[in-house]
Structure 1
Amino acid sequence: MYFLGQDLTFPDYSEASAEGIIAIGGDLSPERIILAYKKGIFPWFNEDDPILWWFPPERFVLFPENLYVSKSMKKVFRTQQFTFTENKAFREVIMNCSEAPRKDQDGTWITNDMIDAYCKLHEMGIAKSIEVWENGELVGGFYGLDMGHIFCGESMFAKVSNASKAGFIQFVAKYHKKYELIDCQVFTEHLASLGAIEIPAEIFLNYLEPEE
């Protein structure tokens, strides 16, 4: 296994384990995180564990043109149940994501260090949040990194039914011409129902910016 030092570097993709771990350690500096995402690598680890960097063999993505909006979700939009904003409550969104219960998970991978790191990226204009409101209350949302032609989604939450789905649909519909794909990282039934699919890592790499 490749252990990161102080140098801003990552190993070759061939170093990734079968599960997708490509490196251990390093730090969560904005510079390292940005470099990681440019290479299709992302951090994902539990509290009190070393930082794990992932490049899974299958990548879960949504091509905007494949967004699926069910009849029930179209009805939600017609009723105008929700309103949407961007970057109005980034820390609130990431805090809610960290506290949201996850199936088959104890605790959260969104540690305090992760929260601080992504809030710094938000201050730099790289990390973005989408907020979903109902009657003036924040009821859903998600956050991720804007990498120019790709949006790298990180996590989402919903306090009421359909809130996160509505926010995601609204976001993809708004930016379908800007982003070639939405990186959803790993499979979830929630996003699969909206049209996300798994593609081989080799194909995903074709959508990244060429290395300088």
Structure 2
Amino acid sequence: MSLRLPQLSADPGAPFPSPEFALAEPDGLLAFGGDLSPKRLLNAYRSGIFPWYSDGEPILWWSPSQRAVFRTAAIHLPTRLRRSLRDSNWVVRMDTAFEQVIAACATAPRAGQAGTWITPPMQRAYLALHQLGHAHSVEVFDGSVLDGGRLVGGLYGLAVGRMFCGESMYSTESGASTVALAALARHLHARGWPLIDAQVPNAHTRRLGVETWPRRDYLHALAELLDCDSPPGNLANGFGEYPASVLASTAPA
């Protein structure tokens, strides 16, 4: 690996290699090494790069040739889920259970995966970003906070400029992660944030309306959204707690 890939320096502020130099096989692998400090992680996401590696590997940095992107105005809720939401007691919140969401994402079973890339060091790194106001979670509860609602799903990711970079989502009740995504998209769209980065497409995100963009197009869109950077920590303003049933009539079919 070290013969083909550049190794990042110990300086967390050092620039990354240009994504155009990422490998074709495995697709998007760009560099290795470095650390998961907030400064380096923010630099990575602002450059269209993200970390993804397993226990026992060095930190690997990626910028795939094809990027999965949601338009915040065009999340598709499945018809069956939309119907079930009309009588649901689920409620949605933001940034009230970040640590629980990332821990649940780390342990959620996933088809074709024996382990997780959300290792304890990754969890600590994104929790630090959350505490700095850069990383955020959307949570779905079975009941309101006054009723002691149980967490049934959610997602987490990173805000850079007016781009939300999604990292992972999970459900313990069918459809809860989709509700979290639709709620996030609704909130972002109302604030003028047009896109959610979903990194790599899969069958589930395709059903929800994800688009696949060439790396060049994604990086161009990201650069434009970075020009309108927003202060960290304020993304949850105005989100509050509201019934998930609202999404049955506001999310695109």
Question: TM-score under structure 2 normalisation?
Answer: 0.80
Q: In structure 1, list runs of 5 or more residues that go unmatched.
A: none
> What aligned pairs does 1:1-212 form with structure 2 within 5 A after superposition?
1-7=5-11, 8-18=14-24, 19-135=27-143, 136-177=149-190, 178-209=192-223
- Cα deviation, 1:60-102, whole Å, max 9, x if unaligned, reads 0101222212321221321133111111111100000000011
Q: For structure 2, which runs of at least 5 residues remain unmatched after alignment?
A: 144-148, 228-253
Task: Point out 4+ residue stretches in structure 1 off by more than 4 angstroms.
Answer: none
- Shift of the alpha carbon at 1:17? 0.4
Cα offset for 1:15?
A: 1.8
Deviation, 1:33, is 0.2
Contact 1:40–1:208 at 8 Å: present in 2 too?
Answer: yes
Does the 8 Å contact 2:19/2:49 carry over to 1? no
- Measured on the aligned residues, the alpha-carbon RMSD in Å equals 1.4
- AA at the equivalent of 1:54: W
Deviation at 1:193? 1.1
SS at match of 1:143: strand
Task: Find the aligned partners of 2:9 and 2:162 in 1 and give their Cα distance.
Answer: 30
Point out the structure with max Rg over C-alpha: 2
Deviation of 1:187 after TM superposition, in Å, equals 1.1
Counterpart CA distance in 2 for 1:198 and 1:186 is: 8
Number of residue pairs the alignment of both structures matches = 212
Residue 152 of structure 1: SS of its match in structure 2? strand
Q: Distance in 2 between matches of 1:40 and 1:14?
A: 11
Deviation at 1:134, TM superposition (A): 0.9
2:247 is matched with none
The structure-2 alpha-carbon separation of the partners of 1:160 and 1:9, relative to structure 1 and needing over 3 Å to count, comes to same
Q: Secondary structure at the match of 2:216?
A: helix
Distance 1:108 1:99 in 2: 7
SS state of the match for residue 93, structure 2?
strand
Return the alpha-carbon distance in structure 2 between the equivalents of residues 5 and 183 of structure 1. 27
3-state SS of the aligned residue for 1:151? Answer: strand
The separation in 2 between residues aligned to 1:77 and 1:101, in whole angstroms, is: 24
CA contact (8 A) 1:2 1:15 kept: no
Cα distance in 2 between the residues matched to 1:190 and 1:14: 28
Q: CA deviation at 1:171?
A: 1.6
Distance in 2 separating the partners of 1:159 and 1:64: 24
CA distance in 2, matches of 1:203, 1:44: 22
